[in-house]
Amino acid sequence: MWKQVSQLAGYGLKVESIKGKGYRLERPLYLLDELRLRNALKERWGERVREFNVLKSVGSTNAELLESSKDLPVGLYDILLAERQTAGRGRRGRVWVSPFAQNIYMSVAVRLSGGFSVLNGLSLAIGAAVADAIKTVCGIQVSLKWPNDVWYSEKKLAGLLLEVQGEQEGPVHVIIGLGVNVLMEREAGQAIDQPWTALSESCDVRVDRDQLCVALADSVLACLESYKAEGFAGLRELWDEYDLLKGRNVMVMSGDKCWSGEYLGVSDEGYALVRGEDGCLRSLAGGEITVRPVS
């Protein structure tokens, strides 16, 4: 018994000792149902989802899937979920806080033809797909902060990290990592260095993580199918529905430079369009700058 209790504690779960009765978890635990998820995705996508797995713990779902999907053919997808990440990563090398069985940590692997140029706007398209899935399942009006953060009530709810390998002109191997705060408690998120929220704080009913996982995977795969046919231009209207900053004054930070302007939206290529205080319209690429609302 003590071995099992120690294992639960190793996952960060709080176990109480009840005199004369044994042990119990401080809070209920709802694990992802791998069979339920697999069957739901198979019904929708059939053999196009080549591999689907749910792990109890992993360093990073992106790193794990990047290695295991190296032989993934064009046209198929691999999907990996985990209950916990011990080395979860966000954009710009930030740590992604990943407590056990509280959130969703998902990575999707795809191989795209056309070289690196085909990736323009992909992260924005996926962000719109994630926002749309959350709104559909949870019934809340989320928004997108360029390039791909999902916000609710001016706080970060979900984020993406895309990692790419391949040749300049040949097929590119893309890993799409997404994290959604579902049940995360304030104590678990103390290390997060920006305002954040979780669906448990935002929704009137308890969110079924299985249902949300299926909706997210389905929305991301459908987005990828559309993206392969039309690029970001075909998904720009969906992005515009969720654009948090359009028409607002923003602060643009790039390296050691900082300037203000009015955010006008995004181009068909996914670039942020910002008119500076000098009147010049600038087109900004993802990964080079950070855009935050001016407080």
> Residue 280 belongs to a domain with what CATH number?
2.30.30.100
State the CATH number of the domain containing residue 222.
Answer: 3.30.930.10
Confidence of residue 143 (pLDDT cuts 50, 70, 90): very high
Distance CA 22, CA 221 (A): 45
Residues 107 and 225 in one domain: yes
Cα-based distances in Å from 291 to 80, 120, 191, 208, 284: 30, 18, 22, 32, 10
pLDDT at 237: 95
Residues 265 and 283 in one domain: yes
Residues 23 and 54 in one domain: no
Residues 24 and 40 in one domain: no
Regarding beta strands 49-55 and 77-82, do their DSSP bridges make them parallel or antiparallel, or are they unpaired? Answer: parallel
The answer to whether 156 is a known catalytic residue is yes
Greatest mean pLDDT range, 167-176, 217-226, 253-262: 217-226
Residues 217 and 268 in one domain: no
Residue 275's domain comprises: 249-293
Task: Sheet with 290-293: list strands edge to edge.
Answer: 281-284, 272-276, 257-266, 249-254, 290-293
DSSP code string of the chain: -HHHHHHHHHTT--EEEETTTEEEESS------HHHHHHHHHHHHGGGEEEEEEES-BS-HHHHHHHHTTTPPTT-EEEEEES-BSS-B-GGG-B----TTTSEEEEEEEEESS-GGGGTTHHHHHHHHHHHHHHHHH----EEETTTEEEETTEEEEEEEEEEEE-SSS-EEEEEEEEE-SS--TTTTTT--S-B--HHHH-SS---HHHHHHHHHHHHHHHHHHHHHHTGGGGHHHHHHHBSSTTSEEEEEETTEEEEEEEEEE-TT--EEEEETTS-EEEE-TTT-EEEE--
Catalytic residue among 38, 50, 155, 156: 156
Q: Is the pLDDT of residue 21 over 70?
A: no
pLDDT at 8: 53
Q: Is the pLDDT of residue 3 over 80?
A: no
Residues 260 and 173 in one domain: no
Residues 20 and 153 in one domain: no
Lowest mean per-residue pLDDT among 90-104, 116-130, 154-168, 270-284: 90-104
187-224 tens-digit pLDDT: 777 778 788 999 999 887 789 999 999 999 999 999 99
Residues 175 and 284 in one domain: no
Q: Is the pLDDT of residue 161 over 90?
A: yes
25 within 8 A of 14, measured Cβ to Cβ: yes
What's at 60, amino acid-wise?
A: S
Q: How many domains does the chain have?
A: 3
pLDDT at 23: 57
pLDDT at 16: 61
Catalytic residue among 38, 44, 91, 228: 91
Residues 96 and 224 in one domain: yes
Q: Is the pLDDT of residue 9 over 80?
A: no
Distance CA 131, CA 24 (A): 36
284 within 8 A of 272, measured Cβ to Cβ: yes
23-39 tens-digit pLDDT: 565 566 889 999 999 99
Lowest mean per-residue pLDDT among 90-94, 156-160, 233-237: 90-94
Structure-token match 């290390």, residue found = 191
The answer to whether 38 is a known catalytic residue is no
Higher pLDDT, 14 or 128: 128
Higher pLDDT, 125 or 184: 125
pLDDT over 90, % of the chain:
66
pLDDT at 188: 72
Residues 48 and 2 in one domain: no
Contacts of 280 (CB under 8 A, 6+ apart): none
Lowest mean per-residue pLDDT among 16-30, 233-247, 271-285: 16-30
pTM of the model: 0.89
Residues 225 and 284 in one domain: no
Read off the tokens for 200.
């448990």
pLDDT at 74: 94
247 within 8 A of 254, measured Cβ to Cβ: no
Mean pLDDT, the chain, whole residue set: 88
The answer to whether 91 is a known catalytic residue is yes
Residues 81 and 193 in one domain: yes
Q: Is the pLDDT of residue 121 over 60?
A: yes
